[in-house]
Amino acid sequence: MSDAAGAPVRVGVLALQGGFEAHGRMLRALGADVREVRVPGDLDGLDALVLPGGESTTMTLGIEREGLAEPLRAFHAAGRPMFGTCAGLIMLDRAHLGIMDILAERNAFGRQVHSFEEELDFGLPGGPVHAVFIRAPWIAEHGAEVEVLASVDGHPVAAREGRLLVISFHPELGSDTRLHELFLQIVAGTA
Amino acid sequence: MRDEATFTVKAGLAEMLKGGVIMDVVDPEQAKIAEAAGACAVMALERVPSDIRRDGGVARMSDPEMIEGIQAAVTIPVMAKARIGHFAEAEVLQALEVDYIDESEVLTPADEANHIDKWPFKVPFVCGATNLGEALRRIGEGAAMIRSKGEAGTGDIVEAVRHLRTINGEIRRLGTLDDAELATAAKEHGAPLDLVRSVAEHGRLPVVVFCAGGIATPADAALVMKLGAEGVFVGSGIFKSEDPERRGAAIVEATTHFKDPARVLSASRGLGHAMESLETRKLDEQQLLASRGW
């Protein structure tokens, strides 16, 4: 994946805590130039950002400690795409960074013993996506501009709003790269 | 078609804890302090390891009411400890729906020959290890996360460093062996051959590895992260120190920014006294917790 000039796209992965390494591995395998983001200065020069899974309370406190909330909102306002998975979805919602017009319900499926895997239809070429849900949230409310991409038990678990993509499960933990490819297409302006 | 509690979701929760600090807490108030300090999970137990050392006696699973109080107080994952081999305690913890069970040498072992068969459980397990063979035996029994043992309740980092270096050094050495030698290495490590082959191929354990036992300062956390830990457990180090709120937050900050000495420096300032410590070398053989488990 590269930009018009042939340089690889530069994708940041928020690395305060959580599953950032797995996202980095998958994005590198798809040809992106990946940088871990811990402080506002790390956002400079990036084309896009992934907010990974992890503990949403820990991540919220980390964003506060590092003064990252305003820089992240500015990153979005500048038109740069963002991809939130699990806790990353929560970070983008109305109650946290307020970047995406969704409201997440945390730990919506219950405690860890109720974490699960299932095949989920995304309407993507190649058939259903194998989705791994870990103490996952769902989207309890969303605005009219938000397109729901997939649901479980009637609750949205994947959605898109312009250049924002959110998924409540963990596409980075498997070997299916299609959802990361979808994000890179959003970055490239081809999806 | 939904599959609950697969190994992928068990090991996956540990992936989401990475880069974080798991703090020992003994009541809901401490749990809230830990959460506000940025802990990615709490370990609910009746006595922190340094008190278990001081008090003596049999250390058992905690009172379920205390664990429930902690579950009600925080939204981060709640872990709890069962005695080595005490599968009935583990079943009680599963019925409580704790998020992770630590089959822990800090408690008094219930079985001196066998660990819990962890595969039938829906709750994932974390287990301690002092070397690669021990880690792989635990994974073979179904553990979804490993922590190096260190020497709990001492505030002395020396054993944590020894165990992490041993595990990672043994992993590196496996990478230099051919197939015939790997079979011999499996025998020497007392570890399942398929897991030995997997480690040799991938250069890492198939589950997340945290460090435990002796972390008392932000620099301790940075040290073990630099030695390859993927996150840290802090037991007595926070709530036995002078200012648990600040020290907890400082250890979280140092764990995130372990590669940046300037940040570890700023996290280390003005924390008050660390926990009262014990030098591991001066402990008697029977006072060592890390040698429990086999």
Is the pLDDT at B103 greater than 90? The verdict is yes
DSSP E strands in chain B: the ranges are: 2-4, 21-25, 41-44, 78-83, 100-104, 125-129, 145-148, 208-211, 232-234
Residues of B in contact with A62 (CB under 8 A): 38, 252, 256
Q: What is the dihedral of CA B62, B271, A91, A120, to 10 degrees?
A: -40
Is the pLDDT at B197 greater than 60? The verdict is yes
Tens-place pLDDT, residues B221-261: 999 999 999 999 998 999 999 999 999 999 999 999 999 99
Question: What pLDDT is recorded for position B293?
Answer: 86
Is the pLDDT at A2 greater than 80? The verdict is no
Question: What pLDDT is recorded for position B152?
Answer: 92
Indicate the helix (H) or strand (E) that contains B193.
helix B193-202
Tens-place pLDDT, residues B38-87: 999 999 998 888 898 889 899 999 999 999 999 999 999 999 999 999 99
Q: Which two tokens stand for residue A97?
A: 């960074």
Nearest to A18 among B16, B94, B123 (CB): B16
Cα distance between residue A34 and residue A16, in whole Å = 15
Tens-place pLDDT, residues A6-38: 789 999 999 999 999 999 999 999 999 999 999
Task: Judge if ipTM > 0.90.
Answer: yes
- The answer to whether A170 is a known catalytic residue is yes
pLDDT band at B277 (very low <50, low <70, confident <90, very high): confident
Question: What pLDDT is recorded for position A3?
Answer: 57
Is the pLDDT at A1 greater than 60? The verdict is no
| Between A49 and A174, the higher pLDDT residue | A49
CB A120 within 8 A of CB A133: no
Task: Kindly list the domain boundaries of chain A, sorted by start residue.
Answer: 10-188
Q: Does A57 touch chain B (CB under 8 A)?
A: yes
Q: How many residues can be counted in chain B?
A: 294
Window 28-47 of A: residues touching B by CB (8 A cutoff) are: 38
pLDDT band at B284 (very low <50, low <70, confident <90, very high): confident
Q: Share the mean pLDDT of chain B.
A: 96
Cβ within 8 Å, pair A117-B16: no
Tell me which fold the domain A10-188 belongs to. Rossmann fold (3.40.50)
Is the pLDDT at A44 greater than 80? The verdict is yes
Is the pLDDT at A5 greater than 70? The verdict is no
Query: At CB < 8 Å, which residues of chain B contact A?
Result: 1-6, 8-10, 12-13, 15-20, 35-36, 38-41, 75-77, 94, 97-100, 122-124, 249, 252-253, 256-257
Cα distance between residue A73 and residue A26, in whole Å = 25
Interface test with A, best of B6, B7, B8, B22 (most A CBs within 10 A): B8
Distances (CA, A) of A177 to A29, A181, A184, B69, B243: 9, 6, 11, 41, 45
Cβ within 8 Å, pair B19-A119: no
Q: What is the dihedral of CA A17, A19, A24, A27, to 10 degrees?
A: -140
Q: In sequence order, which ranges of A6-125 are alpha helices (DSSP H)?
A: 20-29, 56-66, 69-77, 87-92
Indicate the helix (H) or strand (E) that contains B267.
helix B261-268
CB B220 within 8 A of CB B241: no
Cβ within 8 Å, pair A17-B256: yes
Cα distance between residue A140 and residue A4, in whole Å = 38
Section B173-188 average pLDDT: 98
Q: Share the mean pLDDT of chain A.
A: 96
Nearest to A117 among B6, B13, B97 (CB): B6
Question: What pLDDT is recorded for position A162?
Answer: 97
Q: Does A15 touch chain B (CB under 8 A)?
A: yes
Cβ within 8 Å, pair A55-B97: no
Cα distance between residue A16 and residue B125, in whole Å = 25
